[in-house]
Amino acid sequence: MGTVGWALIAVGALLLAIGLVYLLWARRTPDHRWRRALRASGPGTLAGAVDRGGSVRVTGTVVTGAECLNSPRQQQPCVLFRFNAMRQRGTDSMMYETLHRETGEVPFWIDDGTGRALVRPTDFRLVLRDEWVAEGPTRGPQGVPKELQEWLVGALGRDPVGLGGRRLRFEEKFIAPGQTVTALGALWSEPSGDGATVKVLGAREGQPLFVTNLVPEDAVRELGSNVTAAMVMTTLSVALILAGGLLVGLAG
């Protein structure tokens, strides 16, 4: 038992070192800063935000402007979309690499019941739910449909080397008219063409406009996934060290 105990202690110590480094890195990422900003900022309203100045967090309904898009695969009306086609890095890897990406956005409005703010295409930080996903191997009954694979080859203009035998993942995310979104960014007023003013919600200098169509609490969890994984790793490592110490003690 003593040998097993020391082995557990050694593995636990290694995992603890890795976990602590991972945790320090995760706490320095932009996603962690967004997570803290979302948790620190309470819900605001467009009616009272300008007087306060600075950034504002607003939750409201998406209203289309003069233009509207269609999502690439589902052809759903939207004001913003992100489409990714990815390939497994290796046959045994859990990581994916992006082979093809399509993006699109047009100006839209957020109506929170107290007013409307215009959102123009800008530097976004988006946390969006998957509206459509297709994932699987390139062969077999559970594989990705052949038409999707043929579409990918056509989009790339070539047959990706090593496509066979690896899993593919296609995902489409978008913001549709009528969806509820939460935005965190700067709010200011601009003169409009009719002599009145319009409120604009956008990016601050050096800081993108954060937009999510998840419930804010779910967005916080999504942004904190790296921190959570690091904490799980450190907790597991401590448990291994304690278990190893117990076995060493019993062996003694």
pLDDT in tens, 54-96: 678 889 999 998 899 999 989 999 999 999 998 888 767 778 8
Specify the pTM.
0.78
| CA atoms lying within 13 Å on the CB side of residue 136 | 13
pLDDT in tens, 32-54: 787 888 777 777 777 766 544 56
Q: Give the residue extent of every domain in the chain.
A: 2-251
* 198 class by beta-carbon count within 10 Å (0-12 exposed, 13-18 middle, 19+ buried): middle
**Residue-wise pLDDT tens for the chain (252 aa)?**
567 767 777 887 888 788 788 778 877 777 778 788 877 777 777 776 654 456 788 899 999 988 999 999 899 999 999 999 988 887 677 788 898 999 999 999 999 998 899 999 888 899 999 999 988 887 766 777 888 888 888 888 776 655 556 788 899 999 999 999 999 988 888 887 777 788 888 887 778 899 999 988 888 888 777 777 878 888 888 887 887 777 777 776
